[in-house]
Structure 1
Amino acid sequence: MTFSAVSPDEIAQPKPELRIGFLLMNHFTLMQVAGLVESLRFAADESFSSRQIFCQWEWMTCDNQPVTASCGLPVSPTAPLDFNQHWDYLVLAGGLLEETRNPPAWLLDAVREIHARNIPIITLCSGAFIVGNAGLLDGKRCAIHFTTRDEFRQRFPKAIPVIDKTYIKDGGIISCPGGTAIDLAADLIRKHCGEMRAEKGLQYLLVDNGKSRSTKKATGEAATLLYDNPAVRKVIDFMRHHLDSPLPLSEVAEFSALTVRQLNQLFIKNTGYTAAVYWRRMRLEHARKLMSDTDSSIHAIATTCGFSDASHLVDWFRKQYGETPGSFRKRRRDVEKLVKP
């Protein structure tokens, strides 16, 4: 397997729907990185063309020099390390513990800043030790490999290690302890690029359909693995069933038997957002999906997603995604033209 940069001529100009930065630590575990990026590759373009259209990714290292995977494969970075990039996710690809037990202070500062910017951080293998050292796992569940459980507990006594999950999302950190990371990749693609592209990757990677359905149920349904707090899961499920109803937050709090202040504190701790912001982001994601999958008018979508009118949706859509619904739809059409034979 060869990791190489895609030439500028091969990269489509429209904005991709999923952009991931990979920070490869020396002696990183190849299998997880390969499973994640190969899934992205199949979702990024039609057939086997492998152009980075719907998805884009960059390989980076701490010193902008080549690193060596734990199996001995040398890998060169395709982009300089720049934490100011606007990724949808930053992957900390760890491997041998010697490389992640005591990360440098500048890296810990950068990871904290990324987290403060609400960019989700994905840890692969021992990458969890980096965010643990940054103090971002206190009170949070973290999926780790069973061989590192004792040391992890000793180093991070305030974290909650879990050894029987393929991945866990808690408080803006997505931890994946081992395996191929294909199920994690499928859920990310499903969220950002749609069900068809997620299934395409699973099919091309010869993942059994029955297994993929059970994986989806285990990892993607009703945020079961996303947030460990039952009250948060209950409220998120309530929000999901009321996307078209702009209810006052006081009614949501009443449903959860909490005060508005308690509800917001609970959501900030578990999701990084207040309850109102989290609910609005859910409604915006649903609106974007409807814009992608239907020909419904912006006014109709606004009503379906609980916005007062089309202008209200347009304003929040621009703030969230940096473009208007109209430009988003045009970009989608432009991308579709690029991938047609």
Structure 2
Amino acid sequence: MASGPRIPMRNPTDKLRLSVGFILARRFTLCAFANFVDVLRLAADEGDRSRPIRCGWRVLSTTMEPITASSGITVQPEERLGDPSRFDYIVVVGGLIDEVANLHPDYVHFLHAAAEAGVPLVGVCTGAFILHRIGLMDGYRCCVSWFHHDDFLEQFDGLKPVSDQIFVVDRDRLTCSGGASSAHLAAFLVERHVGRAEATKSLHIMIIDEAERAETPQPGIPLDLRSGDPLVKKALILMQQNIDTPISIDEVARRLGVNRRQIERRFQARIGTSPTHAFKMIRLEHAEYLLRHSNRSITAIAIESGFCDSSHFIRAFRERSGQTPAAFRGLTGEATLPETG
């Protein structure tokens, strides 16, 4: 199946080059929504004055009642649903898994009308779940967060979501894993409709170094979440959540309600290594990501990756990759900073 983007293009002389309508699910993820909107806002005007000159965006609603995010903050809708074809894209921002099935029927009708009119649909965070549940992702590739990969499989038999990259563009369906990836997906749209300079400007003002390609790996993927063993998955996620302050395997076992020997057996059977070694690999993979994508010092990366000092980190990194962190950073083309400590 072809997966190249089929995206409408406006005439460059048009004043408003990109128009987006937002559907916010109940208990949506605020940061994913805010990141997407801010890229549009900063690209829409000179500087950061927020005038919607090049880009326009509206939060849509069927009731016009405030919509509550998962954080408890509310957003006031601006327009009723109306005709979806007045927008270039309709973006569905999801949030908590428990709310995926609770989309108002008016929104379902509106999204189906948008699809029939050829308006591309965008699923942000669990917005992809919502689009699948209402039958608008059949035959499309779909991006979801690695954290929700198994949740997706449980809800949608026979579908294989993409959980190892930050966003997916498949014809007139665009999906992303949420968080910072929503900024990169928005920048992708801005570059196509408004220009590369405007997309880059937006990201730089947001203190994001540069636009990431769709196939950029999602950060923090813990080894193999497809092992099929729920205990191994839970242990890996728990390790991922404690990278900077590593907890012992005994503590991992205690939190999961099993003993250390049970975890060790299951890790060996499912992924062929010990939980201690797996935890170390997760921390080193996190360090590798920081070396590729940040200018933090070697010492700062060591601390953020849960190593007691930079010497310990450098030794562990060399054992795994055959080179020092500084040498690795030089080969990947990132700015090299002095090793300290």
| TM-score interval (norm. to shorter) | 0.5 to 0.7
* Counterparts in 2 of 1:48 and 1:167: CA distance versus 1, 3 Å: same
User: Residue 39 of structure 2 contacts residue 203 of structure 2 at CA under 8 Å; is this kept in 1?
Assistant: yes
Cα distance between partner residues in 2 of 1:19 and 1:64:
20
Identical-pair percentage: 35
Pairs within 5 Å for 1:251-266: none
- The more displaced of 146-155 and 82-91 is 146-155
Cα distance between partner residues in 1 of 2:191 and 2:179:
20
2:17 maps to amino acid: E
Is 2:152 the partner of 1:138? no
User: Residue 41 of structure 1 contacts residue 50 of structure 1 at CA under 8 Å; is this kept in 2?
Assistant: yes
1:3 is matched with none
1:152 is matched with 152
User: Residue 66 of structure 2 contacts residue 76 of structure 2 at CA under 8 Å; is this kept in 1?
Assistant: yes
Cα displacement (A) at 1:143? 0.7
Is 2:200 the partner of 1:199? yes
SS in 2 for 1:160: coil
Cα displacement (A) at 1:101? 2.3
Q: Normalising to structure 1: TM-score of the pair?
A: 0.56
1:184 is matched with 185
1:16 is matched with 16
2:47 maps to amino acid: S
Cα displacement (A) at 1:157? 2.1
User: Residue 137 of structure 1 contacts residue 158 of structure 1 at CA under 8 Å; is this kept in 2?
Assistant: no
User: Once superposed, which parts of structure 1, at least 4 consecutive aligned residues long, lie more than 6 Å away?
Assistant: none
Cα displacement (A) at 1:117? 1.4
Higher-Rg member (1/2): 2
Pairs within 5 Å for 1:301-316: none
User: Residue 39 of structure 2 contacts residue 186 of structure 2 at CA under 8 Å; is this kept in 1?
Assistant: yes
Pairs within 5 Å for 1:74-113: 74-113=74-113
1:50 maps to amino acid: S
Spell out, residue by residue over 1:151-210, the C-alpha distance to the aligned partner (whole angstroms, 9 max, x if none). Answer: 32232224321111111122421111222211111111000001111111121111124x
User: Residue 58 of structure 1 contacts residue 79 of structure 1 at CA under 8 Å; is this kept in 2?
Assistant: yes
* Counterparts in 2 of 1:98 and 1:82: CA distance versus 1, 3 Å: farther
Pairs within 5 Å for 1:1-341: 15-180=15-180, 181-209=182-210, 212=211, 215-216=212-213, 218=215
Spell out, residue by residue over 1:12-42, the C-alpha distance to the aligned partner (whole angstroms, 9 max, x if none). Answer: xx74100000111121101111111111111
SS in 2 for 1:38: helix
Cα distance between partner residues in 1 of 2:133 and 2:215:
29
1:185 maps to amino acid: A
2:319 is matched with none
User: Residue 138 of structure 1 contacts residue 156 of structure 1 at CA under 8 Å; is this kept in 2?
Assistant: no
Cα displacement (A) at 1:61? 2.9
1:195 maps to amino acid: R
Spell out, residue by residue over 1:200-228, the C-alpha distance to the aligned partner (whole angstroms, 9 max, x if none). Answer: 1121111124xx3xx14847xxxxxxxxx
User: Residue 166 of structure 1 contacts residue 179 of structure 1 at CA under 8 Å; is this kept in 2?
Assistant: no
User: Residue 87 of structure 2 contacts residue 119 of structure 2 at CA under 8 Å; is this kept in 1?
Assistant: yes
Cα displacement (A) at 1:127? 1.1
Cα distance between partner residues in 2 of 1:27 and 1:42:
26
Spell out, residue by residue over 1:88-146, the C-alpha distance to the aligned partner (whole angstroms, 9 max, x if none). Answer: 10011111122222434443333222112111111111111221122222232111122
1:91 maps to amino acid: V
User: Residue 25 of structure 1 contacts residue 62 of structure 1 at CA under 8 Å; is this kept in 2?
Assistant: no
* Counterparts in 2 of 1:175 and 1:144: CA distance versus 1, 3 Å: same
Structure in which a larger fraction of residues adopt helix: 1
SS in 2 for 1:16: coil
Cα displacement (A) at 1:85? 4.3
Which ranges of structure 1 fall in alignment gaps of 5 or more residues?
1-13, 220-341
User: Residue 25 of structure 2 contacts residue 103 of structure 2 at CA under 8 Å; is this kept in 1?
Assistant: no
SS in 1 for 2:64: coil
> Aligned residues, how many?
202
What root-mean-square deviation, in Å, do the aligned CA atoms of Structure 1 and Structure 2 show? 1.9
Cα distance between partner residues in 2 of 1:52 and 1:193:
12
Q: Normalising to structure 2: TM-score of the pair?
A: 0.56
* Counterparts in 2 of 1:24 and 1:46: CA distance versus 1, 3 Å: same
